[in-house]
Structure 1
Amino acid sequence: MRGKIRANMYIFDQTFPEYNAKKFILDFFKDPNVLNTLKMFTKAGEWQLLGQPAHDVRIEQLNTNILSLEFFDRLFNNKIIREQGHIKKCIEEYKDEFIISDELRKVLIMDEFDSYDIFSDNDRKEFIFHLFKHFCLGGQVCQYEDDVQPYLDVTKSVYKEVISVQKDAESQTIQVVSPVFKIEALNENGKKFYPSRTAYEQDFAYIIIDPIKRHVIILSNFYEGPSFFE
Protein backbone atom coordinates (compact mmCIF):
# COMPACT_ATOMS: atom_id res chain seq x y z
CA MET A 1 0.00 0.00 0.00
CA ARG A 2 3.03 2.27 0.24
CA GLY A 3 2.74 5.06 -2.30
CA LYS A 4 -0.88 4.14 -3.12
CA ILE A 5 -2.71 5.25 0.02
CA ARG A 6 -3.46 8.95 0.41
CA ALA A 7 -5.21 11.31 2.80
CA ASN A 8 -6.52 14.73 1.72
CA MET A 9 -8.15 17.34 3.94
CA TYR A 10 -10.64 20.01 2.86
CA ILE A 11 -12.41 22.78 4.75
CA PHE A 12 -16.09 23.60 4.29
CA ASP A 13 -18.04 26.64 5.48
CA GLN A 14 -21.59 25.36 5.82
CA THR A 15 -23.42 23.22 8.34
CA PHE A 16 -23.11 19.50 7.62
CA PRO A 17 -26.61 17.98 7.26
CA GLU A 18 -26.11 14.34 8.29
CA TYR A 19 -29.70 13.57 7.28
CA ASN A 20 -28.73 14.53 3.72
CA ALA A 21 -25.17 13.24 3.65
CA LYS A 22 -25.44 11.95 0.08
CA LYS A 23 -26.12 15.44 -1.31
CA PHE A 24 -23.23 16.86 0.73
CA ILE A 25 -20.85 14.21 -0.63
CA LEU A 26 -22.11 14.60 -4.21
CA ASP A 27 -21.62 18.37 -3.98
CA PHE A 28 -18.13 17.70 -2.65
CA PHE A 29 -17.29 15.70 -5.77
CA LYS A 30 -18.53 18.57 -7.95
CA ASP A 31 -16.56 21.29 -6.21
CA PRO A 32 -13.87 22.86 -8.44
CA ASN A 33 -11.35 22.92 -5.59
CA VAL A 34 -11.78 19.18 -5.14
CA LEU A 35 -11.60 18.43 -8.86
CA ASN A 36 -8.37 20.41 -9.15
CA THR A 37 -6.61 18.88 -6.14
CA LEU A 38 -7.95 15.37 -5.43
CA LYS A 39 -5.93 12.74 -7.27
CA MET A 40 -6.41 9.13 -8.29
CA PHE A 41 -3.82 6.55 -9.33
CA THR A 42 -3.92 5.35 -12.93
CA LYS A 43 -3.08 1.95 -14.38
CA ALA A 44 -0.10 3.67 -15.98
CA GLY A 45 1.32 4.12 -12.50
CA GLU A 46 0.79 7.87 -12.30
CA TRP A 47 -1.26 10.19 -10.11
CA GLN A 48 -3.74 12.31 -12.02
CA LEU A 49 -6.33 14.89 -10.96
CA LEU A 50 -9.90 13.70 -10.59
CA GLY A 51 -10.84 16.20 -13.31
CA GLN A 52 -14.46 15.20 -13.94
CA PRO A 53 -17.34 15.94 -11.54
CA ALA A 54 -19.37 13.04 -10.18
CA HIS A 55 -22.88 12.56 -11.55
CA ASP A 56 -23.82 10.36 -8.62
CA VAL A 57 -22.27 8.74 -5.55
CA ARG A 58 -22.75 5.49 -3.70
CA ILE A 59 -22.30 5.84 0.04
CA GLU A 60 -22.34 3.46 2.98
CA GLN A 61 -22.24 4.93 6.46
CA LEU A 62 -19.97 3.03 8.83
CA ASN A 63 -20.09 2.72 12.60
CA THR A 64 -17.65 4.61 14.81
CA ASN A 65 -18.47 3.17 18.22
CA ILE A 66 -15.04 1.74 19.03
CA LEU A 67 -12.51 3.70 21.09
CA SER A 68 -10.14 0.92 22.14
CA LEU A 69 -8.10 -1.85 20.55
CA GLU A 70 -9.78 -4.20 23.05
CA PHE A 71 -12.23 -4.64 20.17
CA PHE A 72 -9.65 -7.02 18.67
CA ASP A 73 -9.04 -9.06 21.85
CA ARG A 74 -11.34 -11.77 20.48
CA LEU A 75 -8.56 -12.67 18.03
CA PHE A 76 -6.45 -13.74 21.01
CA ASN A 77 -9.39 -15.29 22.88
CA ASN A 78 -10.21 -17.50 19.88
CA LYS A 79 -6.58 -18.52 19.25
CA ILE A 80 -6.39 -16.76 15.88
CA ILE A 81 -3.47 -14.88 17.41
CA ARG A 82 -1.18 -16.70 19.84
CA GLU A 83 -0.37 -15.24 23.27
CA GLN A 84 2.88 -13.65 22.12
CA GLY A 85 1.11 -11.96 19.20
CA HIS A 86 2.12 -14.45 16.53
CA ILE A 87 -0.47 -14.98 13.79
CA LYS A 88 -1.56 -18.62 13.46
CA LYS A 89 -0.59 -20.02 10.05
CA CYS A 90 -2.65 -22.35 7.85
CA ILE A 91 -2.39 -24.22 4.58
CA GLU A 92 -2.21 -21.71 1.73
CA GLU A 93 -5.36 -21.19 -0.29
CA TYR A 94 -6.94 -18.53 -2.49
CA LYS A 95 -9.93 -16.26 -1.90
CA ASP A 96 -10.82 -13.85 -4.69
CA GLU A 97 -7.63 -11.86 -5.37
CA PHE A 98 -5.88 -12.84 -2.13
CA ILE A 99 -3.53 -15.60 -1.06
CA ILE A 100 -4.64 -16.77 2.39
CA SER A 101 -1.84 -18.29 4.46
CA ASP A 102 -2.99 -17.59 8.01
CA GLU A 103 -6.12 -17.69 10.13
CA LEU A 104 -6.24 -13.91 10.61
CA ARG A 105 -7.03 -13.36 6.95
CA LYS A 106 -9.50 -16.24 7.06
CA VAL A 107 -11.39 -14.43 9.82
CA LEU A 108 -11.35 -11.22 7.81
CA ILE A 109 -12.64 -12.41 4.42
CA MET A 110 -13.62 -16.11 4.40
CA ASP A 111 -17.23 -16.35 5.58
CA GLU A 112 -17.05 -20.16 5.40
CA PHE A 113 -14.31 -20.21 8.05
CA ASP A 114 -15.47 -21.59 11.43
CA SER A 115 -14.28 -18.51 13.35
CA TYR A 116 -15.57 -15.93 10.89
CA ASP A 117 -18.51 -15.05 13.12
CA ILE A 118 -16.36 -13.90 16.06
CA PHE A 119 -16.99 -10.53 14.39
CA SER A 120 -20.69 -9.90 13.87
CA ASP A 121 -22.15 -8.06 10.89
CA ASN A 122 -22.32 -4.90 13.01
CA ASP A 123 -18.70 -5.36 14.09
CA ARG A 124 -17.71 -5.54 10.44
CA LYS A 125 -19.43 -2.21 9.80
CA GLU A 126 -17.09 -0.48 12.23
CA PHE A 127 -14.66 1.89 10.53
CA ILE A 128 -11.81 0.59 12.69
CA PHE A 129 -12.53 -2.95 11.43
CA HIS A 130 -12.35 -1.72 7.84
CA LEU A 131 -8.98 -0.09 8.49
CA PHE A 132 -7.57 -3.16 10.22
CA LYS A 133 -8.79 -5.41 7.41
CA HIS A 134 -7.25 -3.20 4.72
CA PHE A 135 -3.88 -3.07 6.46
CA CYS A 136 -3.85 -6.83 7.02
CA LEU A 137 -4.69 -7.59 3.39
CA GLY A 138 -2.09 -5.13 2.13
CA GLY A 139 -1.13 -4.14 -1.39
CA GLN A 140 -0.35 -5.88 -4.66
CA VAL A 141 3.12 -6.94 -3.54
CA CYS A 142 2.81 -7.59 0.17
CA GLN A 143 5.15 -9.23 2.66
CA TYR A 144 2.76 -10.27 5.41
CA GLU A 145 3.73 -9.76 9.04
CA ASP A 146 4.11 -12.80 11.30
CA ASP A 147 3.06 -10.74 14.31
CA VAL A 148 -0.24 -8.88 14.68
CA GLN A 149 1.14 -5.85 16.54
CA PRO A 150 2.25 -3.84 13.47
CA TYR A 151 -1.28 -4.13 12.07
CA LEU A 152 -2.81 -3.01 15.36
CA ASP A 153 -0.36 -0.12 15.66
CA VAL A 154 -1.01 1.31 12.20
CA THR A 155 -4.77 0.84 12.61
CA LYS A 156 -4.73 2.77 15.88
CA SER A 157 -2.51 5.51 14.47
CA VAL A 158 -4.64 6.15 11.38
CA TYR A 159 -7.94 5.85 13.26
CA LYS A 160 -6.87 8.43 15.86
CA GLU A 161 -5.54 10.73 13.15
CA VAL A 162 -8.67 10.91 11.01
CA ILE A 163 -11.58 10.80 13.48
CA SER A 164 -12.60 13.55 15.90
CA VAL A 165 -13.89 12.99 19.42
CA GLN A 166 -15.41 15.08 22.19
CA LYS A 167 -16.60 14.53 25.74
CA ASP A 168 -20.34 14.29 26.21
CA ALA A 169 -21.44 16.97 28.66
CA GLU A 170 -23.96 14.76 30.46
CA SER A 171 -22.32 11.33 30.54
CA GLN A 172 -18.72 12.65 30.54
CA THR A 173 -17.81 9.86 28.13
CA ILE A 174 -15.70 10.30 25.02
CA GLN A 175 -17.67 9.99 21.79
CA VAL A 176 -16.72 10.03 18.12
CA VAL A 177 -18.34 13.00 16.37
CA SER A 178 -17.10 12.27 12.83
CA PRO A 179 -19.52 10.46 10.52
CA VAL A 180 -17.62 8.11 8.20
CA PHE A 181 -18.82 6.94 4.79
CA LYS A 182 -17.38 4.48 2.32
CA ILE A 183 -17.81 6.16 -1.05
CA GLU A 184 -17.73 5.60 -4.80
CA ALA A 185 -18.07 8.39 -7.37
CA LEU A 186 -19.97 7.56 -10.58
CA ASN A 187 -19.73 9.10 -14.05
CA GLU A 188 -22.59 10.08 -16.40
CA ASN A 189 -22.96 6.42 -17.44
CA GLY A 190 -23.37 5.24 -13.87
CA LYS A 191 -19.92 3.64 -13.85
CA LYS A 192 -17.55 3.96 -10.93
CA PHE A 193 -14.48 6.06 -11.65
CA TYR A 194 -13.28 6.93 -8.14
CA PRO A 195 -11.39 5.65 -6.21
CA SER A 196 -10.79 3.53 -9.34
CA ARG A 197 -12.68 1.76 -12.09
CA THR A 198 -11.93 -1.70 -10.70
CA ALA A 199 -13.85 -3.64 -8.06
CA TYR A 200 -11.04 -4.93 -5.89
CA GLU A 201 -11.50 -5.09 -2.10
CA GLN A 202 -8.41 -2.93 -1.63
CA ASP A 203 -9.61 -0.14 -3.92
CA PHE A 204 -11.30 2.07 -1.36
CA ALA A 205 -12.19 5.62 -0.44
CA TYR A 206 -13.63 6.88 2.83
CA ILE A 207 -14.87 10.35 3.63
CA ILE A 208 -14.58 11.40 7.27
CA ILE A 209 -16.50 14.56 8.16
CA ASP A 210 -15.90 16.70 11.24
CA PRO A 211 -19.10 18.76 11.60
CA ILE A 212 -17.64 20.85 14.43
CA LYS A 213 -14.28 21.89 12.94
CA ARG A 214 -15.87 21.71 9.49
CA HIS A 215 -13.27 19.72 7.71
CA VAL A 216 -13.40 16.68 5.45
CA ILE A 217 -10.76 13.97 5.15
CA ILE A 218 -10.63 11.66 2.15
CA LEU A 219 -8.71 8.44 2.81
CA SER A 220 -8.18 6.40 -0.34
CA ASN A 221 -6.12 3.56 -1.73
CA PHE A 222 -5.53 2.19 -5.21
CA TYR A 223 -4.93 -1.52 -5.70
CA GLU A 224 -3.51 -2.72 -9.00
CA GLY A 225 -4.74 -6.27 -8.64
CA PRO A 226 -3.02 -9.43 -7.40
CA SER A 227 0.48 -9.97 -8.72
CA PHE A 228 -0.06 -13.74 -9.01
CA PHE A 229 -2.72 -13.18 -11.71
CA GLU A 230 -0.30 -11.38 -14.03
Structure 2
Amino acid sequence: MAGEKCAFEQTFSFSPLPSKKPSFLQDRDTLTLLMKWSMLGRISAQCYSFDQCFYPYSSEKFVQCFFRDPNVVSSLRRMEAGAWVPLDKPVVSVDVEQVLCTKVSMDLFDPIYSCGILRPSGHVVKCFHDVYPDYDELRQMLQEKDSEQYYVVGNEERGEFLFRLFKHLCFGGELCQYEDTIEPYISTTKQIYKDLISVQKDPETKKISVLSTVLKVCAYDESGLCYPGRREEEQTFAYLIVDPLKRHVTVFYHCYGVGNFTL
Protein backbone atom coordinates (compact mmCIF):
# COMPACT_ATOMS: atom_id res chain seq x y z
CA MET A 1 0.00 0.00 0.00
CA ALA A 2 1.42 3.35 -1.02
CA GLY A 3 0.53 6.46 0.93
CA GLU A 4 0.01 10.03 -0.11
CA LYS A 5 -1.06 12.39 2.70
CA CYS A 6 -2.44 11.88 6.19
CA ALA A 7 -6.13 12.66 6.21
CA PHE A 8 -6.98 15.74 8.25
CA GLU A 9 -9.31 13.83 10.55
CA GLN A 10 -6.74 11.16 11.31
CA THR A 11 -3.37 12.77 11.91
CA PHE A 12 -1.15 11.14 14.51
CA SER A 13 1.66 12.84 16.41
CA PHE A 14 4.49 10.93 18.07
CA SER A 15 6.90 11.46 20.96
CA PRO A 16 9.99 9.33 21.68
CA LEU A 17 10.07 7.30 24.89
CA PRO A 18 13.84 6.81 25.34
CA SER A 19 13.48 5.44 28.89
CA LYS A 20 11.17 2.62 27.73
CA LYS A 21 13.53 -0.21 26.82
CA PRO A 22 12.46 -3.83 26.29
CA SER A 23 14.08 -6.18 28.79
CA PHE A 24 15.54 -8.47 26.10
CA LEU A 25 17.98 -5.70 25.14
CA GLN A 26 19.16 -5.50 28.76
CA ASP A 27 19.39 -9.22 29.53
CA ARG A 28 23.00 -10.42 29.34
CA ASP A 29 22.13 -14.00 28.35
CA THR A 30 19.95 -12.78 25.49
CA LEU A 31 22.58 -10.30 24.35
CA THR A 32 25.16 -13.10 24.35
CA LEU A 33 22.94 -15.16 22.03
CA LEU A 34 22.29 -12.17 19.74
CA MET A 35 26.05 -11.69 19.57
CA LYS A 36 26.50 -15.37 18.63
CA TRP A 37 23.85 -15.01 15.95
CA SER A 38 25.55 -11.89 14.50
CA MET A 39 22.58 -9.66 15.36
CA LEU A 40 23.99 -7.72 18.31
CA GLY A 41 24.45 -4.04 17.48
CA ARG A 42 22.19 -4.37 14.44
CA ILE A 43 18.90 -5.05 16.24
CA SER A 44 16.95 -2.37 18.08
CA ALA A 45 13.59 -1.54 19.65
CA GLN A 46 12.64 2.14 19.81
CA CYS A 47 9.46 3.21 21.58
CA TYR A 48 7.12 6.16 20.94
CA SER A 49 3.82 7.42 22.29
CA PHE A 50 1.07 8.75 20.03
CA ASP A 51 -1.88 11.04 20.59
CA GLN A 52 -4.94 9.60 18.81
CA CYS A 53 -7.00 6.43 19.03
CA PHE A 54 -5.60 3.69 16.81
CA TYR A 55 -7.71 1.19 14.88
CA PRO A 56 -6.26 -1.45 12.55
CA TYR A 57 -8.16 -0.03 9.56
CA SER A 58 -6.14 3.19 9.94
CA SER A 59 -2.79 1.37 9.79
CA GLU A 60 -1.62 2.94 6.54
CA LYS A 61 -2.33 6.51 7.68
CA PHE A 62 -0.73 5.72 11.02
CA VAL A 63 2.49 4.60 9.32
CA GLN A 64 2.49 7.54 6.89
CA CYS A 65 2.19 9.96 9.79
CA PHE A 66 4.83 8.08 11.78
CA PHE A 67 7.53 8.44 9.14
CA ARG A 68 6.69 12.11 8.53
CA ASP A 69 6.53 13.17 12.16
CA PRO A 70 9.42 15.55 13.06
CA ASN A 71 10.04 13.75 16.36
CA VAL A 72 10.36 10.44 14.52
CA VAL A 73 12.51 11.86 11.72
CA SER A 74 14.98 13.28 14.24
CA SER A 75 15.19 10.17 16.43
CA LEU A 76 14.47 7.04 14.40
CA ARG A 77 17.63 5.08 13.66
CA ARG A 78 18.45 2.87 10.72
CA MET A 79 21.73 1.20 9.88
CA GLU A 80 23.74 2.07 6.81
CA ALA A 81 27.34 1.01 6.10
CA GLY A 82 27.64 -0.36 9.63
CA ALA A 83 26.61 2.89 11.37
CA TRP A 84 23.35 4.06 12.92
CA VAL A 85 22.02 7.05 10.98
CA PRO A 86 18.73 9.02 10.86
CA LEU A 87 16.40 9.26 7.89
CA ASP A 88 18.17 11.78 5.66
CA LYS A 89 15.41 12.49 3.13
CA PRO A 90 11.64 12.96 3.47
CA VAL A 91 9.56 9.78 3.17
CA VAL A 92 7.18 10.02 0.22
CA SER A 93 5.38 6.66 0.46
CA VAL A 94 5.10 3.55 2.61
CA ASP A 95 4.27 -0.13 2.29
CA VAL A 96 2.31 -1.61 5.19
CA GLU A 97 1.54 -5.26 5.85
CA GLN A 98 -0.64 -6.14 8.82
CA VAL A 99 0.92 -9.24 10.36
CA LEU A 100 -1.22 -11.89 12.00
CA CYS A 101 -0.62 -11.85 15.75
CA THR A 102 -2.97 -14.02 17.81
CA LYS A 103 -0.75 -16.46 19.73
CA VAL A 104 -0.58 -16.35 23.52
CA SER A 105 1.39 -19.60 23.98
CA MET A 106 4.24 -21.48 22.32
CA ASP A 107 1.99 -24.35 21.17
CA LEU A 108 2.61 -23.33 17.55
CA PHE A 109 6.03 -25.00 17.75
CA ASP A 110 4.83 -28.35 19.15
CA PRO A 111 4.79 -30.13 15.73
CA ILE A 112 8.51 -29.39 15.26
CA TYR A 113 9.33 -31.67 18.20
CA SER A 114 7.75 -34.79 16.71
CA CYS A 115 8.44 -34.82 12.97
CA GLY A 116 12.10 -35.80 12.65
CA ILE A 117 13.63 -32.32 12.69
CA LEU A 118 14.90 -32.82 16.23
CA ARG A 119 16.41 -35.71 18.11
CA PRO A 120 14.78 -36.67 21.44
CA SER A 121 17.51 -34.62 23.15
CA GLY A 122 16.39 -31.45 21.35
CA HIS A 123 19.43 -31.47 19.05
CA VAL A 124 18.73 -30.34 15.49
CA VAL A 125 19.27 -33.06 12.86
CA LYS A 126 22.00 -32.17 10.36
CA CYS A 127 21.47 -32.72 6.65
CA PHE A 128 23.50 -32.57 3.44
CA HIS A 129 23.54 -29.33 1.44
CA ASP A 130 25.59 -28.46 -1.66
CA VAL A 131 26.35 -24.91 -0.51
CA TYR A 132 26.10 -24.91 3.29
CA PRO A 133 28.17 -27.65 4.96
CA ASP A 134 26.53 -27.08 8.37
CA TYR A 135 22.94 -27.16 7.04
CA ASP A 136 20.21 -28.72 9.18
CA GLU A 137 16.61 -29.92 9.03
CA LEU A 138 15.32 -26.92 10.98
CA ARG A 139 16.54 -24.31 8.50
CA GLN A 140 15.40 -26.52 5.64
CA MET A 141 11.90 -26.66 7.13
CA LEU A 142 11.88 -22.90 7.62
CA GLN A 143 12.70 -21.90 4.04
CA GLU A 144 12.44 -24.72 1.48
CA LYS A 145 8.89 -25.36 0.28
CA ASP A 146 9.87 -28.64 -1.34
CA SER A 147 11.14 -29.95 2.00
CA GLU A 148 9.24 -32.94 3.40
CA GLN A 149 8.91 -31.06 6.69
CA TYR A 150 7.88 -27.63 5.33
CA TYR A 151 4.16 -28.07 6.00
CA VAL A 152 4.65 -29.40 9.52
CA VAL A 153 3.74 -25.80 10.39
CA GLY A 154 0.76 -24.62 8.34
CA ASN A 155 0.68 -21.51 6.16
CA GLU A 156 -1.51 -19.55 8.57
CA GLU A 157 0.79 -20.33 11.51
CA ARG A 158 3.82 -19.35 9.42
CA GLY A 159 2.22 -15.95 8.95
CA GLU A 160 1.99 -15.36 12.71
CA PHE A 161 4.38 -12.77 14.13
CA LEU A 162 5.52 -15.36 16.69
CA PHE A 163 6.70 -17.71 13.94
CA ARG A 164 8.27 -14.89 11.91
CA LEU A 165 10.23 -13.82 14.98
CA PHE A 166 11.44 -17.39 15.50
CA LYS A 167 12.53 -17.62 11.87
CA HIS A 168 14.39 -14.30 12.04
CA LEU A 169 16.35 -15.52 15.08
CA CYS A 170 17.13 -18.90 13.51
CA PHE A 171 18.74 -17.26 10.45
CA GLY A 172 20.39 -14.39 12.31
CA GLY A 173 22.99 -12.13 10.72
CA GLU A 174 25.75 -12.53 8.18
CA LEU A 175 28.15 -14.47 10.43
CA CYS A 176 25.52 -16.35 12.43
CA GLN A 177 26.80 -19.25 14.51
CA TYR A 178 23.89 -21.67 14.45
CA GLU A 179 22.70 -23.54 17.52
CA ASP A 180 22.97 -27.30 17.87
CA THR A 181 19.73 -27.43 19.87
CA ILE A 182 16.40 -25.67 19.41
CA GLU A 183 16.02 -24.46 23.00
CA PRO A 184 17.96 -21.15 22.67
CA TYR A 185 15.81 -20.15 19.68
CA ILE A 186 12.57 -21.05 21.45
CA SER A 187 13.41 -19.35 24.75
CA THR A 188 14.68 -16.16 23.08
CA THR A 189 11.64 -16.01 20.80
CA LYS A 190 9.38 -16.31 23.83
CA GLN A 191 11.21 -13.57 25.73
CA ILE A 192 11.22 -11.07 22.87
CA TYR A 193 7.59 -11.82 21.97
CA LYS A 194 6.47 -11.24 25.57
CA ASP A 195 8.43 -7.98 25.63
CA LEU A 196 6.93 -6.65 22.42
CA ILE A 197 3.33 -7.87 22.53
CA SER A 198 0.59 -6.61 24.85
CA VAL A 199 -2.23 -8.93 25.95
CA GLN A 200 -5.51 -8.56 27.81
CA LYS A 201 -7.69 -10.89 29.88
CA ASP A 202 -11.44 -11.04 29.47
CA PRO A 203 -12.89 -10.41 32.97
CA GLU A 204 -15.72 -12.86 32.39
CA THR A 205 -14.16 -15.73 30.44
CA LYS A 206 -10.61 -15.17 31.79
CA LYS A 207 -9.41 -15.82 28.26
CA ILE A 208 -6.17 -14.06 27.31
CA SER A 209 -5.94 -12.43 23.88
CA VAL A 210 -3.45 -10.26 22.02
CA LEU A 211 -4.12 -6.54 22.16
CA SER A 212 -1.27 -5.39 19.89
CA THR A 213 -1.41 -4.77 16.16
CA VAL A 214 1.78 -5.71 14.29
CA LEU A 215 2.67 -3.91 11.06
CA LYS A 216 5.59 -4.81 8.82
CA VAL A 217 6.72 -1.59 7.17
CA CYS A 218 8.92 -0.22 4.41
CA ALA A 219 9.42 3.45 3.61
CA TYR A 220 10.51 5.16 0.39
CA ASP A 221 12.12 8.52 -0.26
CA GLU A 222 12.60 10.21 -3.64
CA SER A 223 15.46 7.80 -4.43
CA GLY A 224 13.52 4.63 -3.61
CA LEU A 225 13.56 2.25 -0.66
CA CYS A 226 15.16 3.91 2.38
CA TYR A 227 13.86 2.00 5.41
CA PRO A 228 14.56 -0.48 6.89
CA GLY A 229 17.40 -0.65 4.35
CA ARG A 230 18.35 0.54 0.89
CA ARG A 231 17.83 -2.90 -0.61
CA GLU A 232 15.42 -5.74 0.08
CA GLU A 233 16.77 -8.50 2.32
CA GLU A 234 14.65 -10.96 4.28
CA GLN A 235 16.71 -10.44 7.43
CA THR A 236 16.52 -6.65 7.19
CA PHE A 237 13.12 -5.84 8.66
CA ALA A 238 11.08 -3.34 10.62
CA TYR A 239 7.85 -4.02 12.51
CA LEU A 240 5.71 -1.38 14.18
CA ILE A 241 4.01 -2.98 17.18
CA VAL A 242 1.09 -0.86 18.32
CA ASP A 243 -0.45 -0.97 21.80
CA PRO A 244 -3.77 0.89 21.26
CA LEU A 245 -4.59 1.03 24.98
CA LYS A 246 -1.35 2.67 26.15
CA ARG A 247 -0.98 4.49 22.82
CA HIS A 248 2.56 3.23 22.49
CA VAL A 249 4.30 1.94 19.36
CA THR A 250 7.56 -0.01 19.35
CA VAL A 251 9.77 -0.15 16.27
CA PHE A 252 11.40 -3.59 16.20
CA TYR A 253 14.26 -3.37 13.69
CA HIS A 254 17.15 -5.41 12.35
CA CYS A 255 19.62 -4.78 9.54
CA TYR A 256 21.34 -7.84 8.08
CA GLY A 257 25.12 -7.80 8.27
CA VAL A 258 28.04 -8.55 10.59
CA GLY A 259 27.03 -7.95 14.18
CA ASN A 260 29.14 -7.00 17.18
CA PHE A 261 31.21 -9.74 18.79
CA THR A 262 31.71 -8.01 22.12
CA LEU A 263 29.14 -7.07 24.76
TM-score (norm 2): 0.80
Indicate the larger mover: 74-83 or 151-160.
Answer: 74-83
Comparing 52-61 and 151-160, the one that deviates more: 52-61
Is residue 2:124 matched to residue 1:83? no
Query: What's the counterpart of residue 185 of structure 2?
Result: 151
Q: Which runs of 5+ in 1 are unaligned?
A: 226-230
Distance 1:12 1:111 in 2: 40
- Alignment correspondent of 2:227: 194
Q: Secondary structure at the match of 1:19?
A: helix
| 1:177 paired residue among 211, 218, 225 | 211
CA distance in structure 2 between the partners assigned to 1:178 and 1:61 by the alignment: 11
Q: Aligned letter for 1:50?
A: L
Judge conservation of contact 1:10–1:216 (CA < 8 Å) in 2. Answer: yes
Query: 1:35–1:52: 8 Å Cα contact kept in structure 2?
Result: no
From 69, 72, 84, the equivalent of 1:31 is: 69
C-alpha displacement of 1:111: 0.8
In 2, Cα distance between equivalents of 1:54 and 1:165: 32
Counterpart check, 1:138 vs 2:172? yes
1:213 matched to which residue of 2? 246
Runs of 4+ in 1 over 2 A off after TM superposition: none
Counterpart residue type for residue 215 of structure 1: H
Q: Tell me the residue number matched to 1:6.
A: 44
CA contact (8 A) 1:167 1:175 kept: yes
Q: SS of the residue aligned with 1:205? A: strand
Q: Secondary structure at the match of 1:91?
A: coil
Name the % identity.
Answer: 42
Q: Render the CA deviation track for 1:103-154: whole Å, top value 9, x for unaligned.
A: 1001111111111011222111100001000000010011100010000011
**Aligned AA for 1:42?**
E
Deviation of the 1:100 alpha carbon: 6.6
- The total of aligned residue pairs comes to 220
Offset at residue 210 of structure 1 (A): 0.2
- Quote the offset at 1:67 in angstroms: 1.4
User: Shift of the alpha carbon at 1:89?
Assistant: 0.5
Q: State whether residues 93 and 100 of structure 1, in contact with CA within 8 Å, keep that contact through their aligned partners in structure 2.
A: no
Distance 1:55 1:168 in 2: 41
Tell me if 1:120 matches 2:154. Answer: yes
User: What TM-score results when the alignment is normalised by the length of structure 1?
Assistant: 0.91
For 1:57 and 1:119, locate their aligned partners in 2 and report how far apart those are by CA, in whole Å: 30
SS in 1 for 2:118: coil
Q: Which amino acid aligns with 1:216?
A: V
Aligned amino acid, residue 182 of structure 1: K
Q: Is the 2:126–2:134 contact (alpha carbons within 8 Å) kept by the matching residues of 1?
A: no
- 1:91-106 alignment, distance < 5 Å: 91-94=128-131, 101-106=135-140
AA in 1 matched with 2:54: F
Structure richer in strand, relative to its length: 1
Does the Cα contact within 8 Å between 1:36 and 1:51 map onto a contact in 2?
no
- Are residues 1:166 and 2:166 paired? no
**Correspondence 1:68 to 2:105:** yes
**Native 8 Å contact 1:35 1:50 kept in 2:** yes
Deviation of 1:17 (Å): 2.7
Residues 140-172 of structure 1: CA distance to partner in whole angstroms, max 9, x if unpaired?
011100010000011000000001001123432
